[in-house]
Amino acid sequence: MNCIPRRLQPLHAHLIPGSTTRIQQSPSRLPTTWTRYFHPGASFRALELAFDYHENGGKAKGAPIVFLHGLFGNKKNNRSMSKALARDLDRPVYAIDLRNHGESPHDRIHNYTALAEDTENFLQQHKLKEVTLIGHSMGAKTVMTMALRDPSCCASIIAVDNAPVDAALTSDFPRYVEGMKRVEDARVMDNKSADKILEPYATDIPVRQFLLTNLVRTSPSEPLKFRIPVRILANSLDDMADFPFTNPDERWFNKPALFVRGTRSHYVTDETLPIIGRFFPRFELVDVEAGHWVISENPKDFRQAVVEFLQDKD
């Protein structure tokens, strides 16, 4: 998508007039040790996730960063930012494909508990410790879920343009799904035909180009198809609007947490800030001049926010 460089807004909060975004948890709230929490319900079969590894030519030796994309995205969306953060912070970056996306396996179950278990399994497989988890949109709710399930799984989180609340997805996402279904049903042979069919459902060119990056051809004589399982994801939209935890008196994450929101997005409203503060008492907030696609619309200011946050924690 096109980048629109803008000025980074300073850290601020709207919880209480004159308050800061970093909220200290009272000593009575602090647990003496972190214990592993599991969200009630069935445990899902963890899938082995595809990933790209960025280490700045072997120079990045610090604590790892794990980068999670949003709905309909993949690890390649975050390639440039991953490389930049590896250089800026001297920390290796693992950009992963979540289940039903990119090169990772498909499964009919697609909710935040399953996404969290997959990523927890990834951390265990690769023996990653003191991790910073960065996630955009669907990825943001995944890293929040992980932090609340098991606070010891990471050292900090960065949640990009999403909040720990049940909130219906904007009407755009069901339209995108319907458009992608129409493309597959038409059995198109070229991107131009796919773009024409998708245009009424995704009128913004950058969004349409983003969705069409998922089109692949299995053989020269076969029509194009989406590598993401469109119908599985269509049936999971309600789960993507959901959030597994509802009681911040039972689960919270008392480690550094950065929330980055787009100034033109409606996913993290001022009304959600108090609940963010209860689940994540040490959270900081940065507003970036962008819509929902914060990282691609304003990479400069997003990068600055992340680097300042993580350098401050070193």
- d(Cα 1, Cα 81) in Å, to the nearest integer? 13
Residues 6+ apart with CB under 8 A from 306: 85, 134, 158, 258, 260
Long-range contacts of 53-56 (CB under 8 A, 24+ apart): 53/92, 53/93, 53/94, 54/79, 54/82, 54/83, 54/85, 54/86, 54/92, 54/93, 54/94, 54/95, 55/86, 55/92, 55/93, 56/83, 56/86, 56/87, 56/90, 56/92
Q: Of 104, 137, 236, 265, which is the active-site residue?
A: 137
* Catalytic-role residue among 156, 236, 292, 296: 292
The amino acid at 68: L
Whether 292 is a known active-site residue: answer yes
Catalytic residues: 137, 292
